[in-house]
């Protein structure tokens, strides 16, 4: 569901209920997503440590970052090479925010480059490496002087200015971890977020609590109450149309909305003829009887199956299903909107889809 449904010309255009909106819950560490396959794991590790994290586009303006009042910033890894013309870049002014910045892999390379270092192609390294710690303060406080870390890179920093200090090395990477003397920037070439780096969580925790001075008071259990209050403020007296597929993502979103605004919510469930056994009846029973939701079920199975008849190519099937769904959902939405008061379209989806759809930056995300 990629666009708001059509509504009568005398109605207000739908908005979007911000389940992950601009209001930040206390201390926050934004993560600039340069396209790493591990980026959401970084966010998860930070949250598990008790600090809220949110993924943002790599070119997010420093003014927007400042508005979040971050306790620190993390620059993620990524598949690009920082010396390429079209490689994703961040706002160099982020170092002027005065908050600690941790660069991981590509994030380290882009940070070092912006601060006067040089990055070059190196022998591809993928796997475990032996890290020797030279400085046991800050990132490596309380950790062994030798430890195993996980490497995944084809470039690495090969020259630094005298403003940098080397914190750790490996046999093939002389700048495996660094710290800038004047700017609160830390860079690590390895990945602390993966289980293959046994002491990786301690490295992240040291950054959050020793360097950023976070309190670690955020809890996932606070999410529901915060989002319910946010939805109520946003929706006011308006009505919301929610696309309900029966999957976990849309069902959780619909349940949260039902808790927040009750009868102001209308869910639309499209039966495309390709559902799991008893899925339609389960959705109807759950949302009509348990949540007491205004649920509109549209049986469009014949239309969908006719579109797919004789088609073998998976991508063509996906395209046809998508186009048919938009048309069916639009028709149903118009009928709901005729009652008046509809101002918002709600969509439940995976966080990765939110990031990939919103950033449009380097890698496969731009093609989704």
Active-site positions read 105, 191, 193
**Bridge partners of residue 177, in order along the sequence:** 168, 188
Order of strands, sheet of 239-243, starting from the edge strand that comes earlier in the sequence: 15-16, 342-347, 239-243, 265-271, 294-299
Distance CA(86)–CA(277), nearest Å, equals 48
Q: Cα-atom radius of gyration of the chain, to the nearest Å?
A: 24
Distance CA(348)–CA(330), nearest Å, equals 17
239: nearest Cα among 259, 270, 262, 256: 262
Distance from CA of residue 124 to its chain's centroid? 27
Is 231 in contact with 238 (CB distance < 8 Å)? Answer: no
The b-or-e profile of 212-238 (16+ CB within 10 A means b, else e) is bebeeebeeeebeeebeebbeebbeee
DSSP 365: G
Distance CA(59)–CA(75), nearest Å, equals 11
């Amino acid at each position: 569901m990629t666009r708001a449904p059509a509504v009568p010309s005398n109605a207000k255009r739908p908005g979007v209920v911000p389940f992950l909106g601009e209001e930040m819950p206390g201390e926050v560490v934004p993560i600039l997503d340069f396209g790493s396959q591990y980026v959401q794991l970084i966010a998860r590790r930070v949250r598990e440590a008790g600090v809220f994290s949110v993924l943002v586009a790599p070119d997010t303006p420093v003014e927007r970052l400042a508005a979040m009042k971050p306790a620190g910033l993390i620059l993620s890894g990524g598949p690009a090479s920082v010396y390429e013309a079209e490689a994703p870049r961040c706002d160099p002014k982020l170092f002027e925010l005065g908050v600690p910045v941790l660069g991981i892999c590509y994030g380290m390379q882009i940070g070092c480059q912006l601060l006067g270092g040089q990055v070059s192609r190196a022998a591809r390294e993928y796997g475990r490496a032996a890290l020797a710690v030279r400085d046991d303060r800050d990132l490596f406080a309380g950790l062994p002087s030798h430890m195993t870390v996980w490497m995944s890179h084809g470039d690495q920093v090969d020259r630094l200015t005298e403003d940098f200090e080397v914190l750790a090395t490996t046999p093939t990477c002389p700048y495996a971890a660094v710290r800038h003397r004047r700017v609160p920037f830390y860079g690590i070439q390895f990945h602390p977020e993966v289980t293959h780096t046994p002491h990786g969580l301690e490295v992240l925790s040291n950054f959050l609590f020793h360097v950023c001075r976070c309190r670690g008071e955020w809890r996932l259990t606070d999410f529901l109450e915060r989002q319910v209050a946010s939805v109520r403020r946003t929706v006011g007296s308006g009505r919301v149309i929610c696309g309900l597929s029966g999957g976990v993502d849309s069902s959780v979103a619909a349940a949260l909305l039902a808790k927040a605004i009750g009868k102001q919510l209308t869910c639309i469930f499209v039966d495309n003829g390709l559902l799991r056994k008893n899925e339609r009846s389960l959705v109807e029973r759950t949302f009509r009887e348990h949540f007491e939701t205004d649920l509109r079920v549209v049986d469009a199975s014949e239309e969908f199956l006719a579109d797919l008849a004789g088609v073998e190519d998976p991508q063509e099937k996906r395209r046809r299903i998508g186009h048919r769904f938009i048309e069916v959902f639009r028709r149903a939405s118009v009928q709901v909107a005729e009652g008046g008061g509809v101002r918002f379209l709600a969509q439940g989806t995976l966080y990765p889809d939110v990031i990939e759809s919103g950033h449009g930056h380097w890698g496969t995300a731009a093609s989704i």
